[in-house]
């Protein structure tokens, strides 16, 4: 899910407006949200990964929340029945 989320995050017009640690934070946060919603447990792997890229920084998350929600919603719409 992280890699698929990266495709959504890294290969979009937004890429030019972000740096690697923001894109990695967003991709892993999307992977966590979607994975959690479909019942996949990640233990501390997602939070550890996000922390490694400074995603536990309040400013980073605040700047990324809308994008995380948009990409998660897009993925949900493709994997859930109408």
pLDDT in tens, the chain (82 residues): 888 888 887 777 878 888 888 888 899 999 999 999 888 887 888 888 888 887 777 888 888 899 899 999 999 888 877 6
First to last CA, the chain: 21
Q: What angle do CA 57, 66, 43 make, to 5 degrees?
A: 55
Q: What is the pTM of this model?
A: 0.85
Per-residue tokens: 24: 């990695």
How many CB atoms lie under 10 A from the CB of residue 6?
18
Interatomic CA distance for residues 12 and 35, integer angstroms: 22
């Amino acid at each position: 899910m992280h890699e698929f989320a990266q495709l959504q995050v890294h290969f979009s017009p937004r890429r030019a407006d972000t740096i690697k640690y923001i894109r990695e934070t967003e991709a892993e946060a999307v992977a966590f949200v979607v994975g959690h919603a479909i019942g996949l447990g990640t233990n501390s792997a997602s939070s550890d990964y996000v922390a490694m890229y400074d995603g536990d920084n309040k400013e980073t998350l605040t700047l990324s929340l809308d994008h995380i929600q948009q990409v998660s919603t897009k993925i949900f719409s493709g994997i859930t029945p109408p």
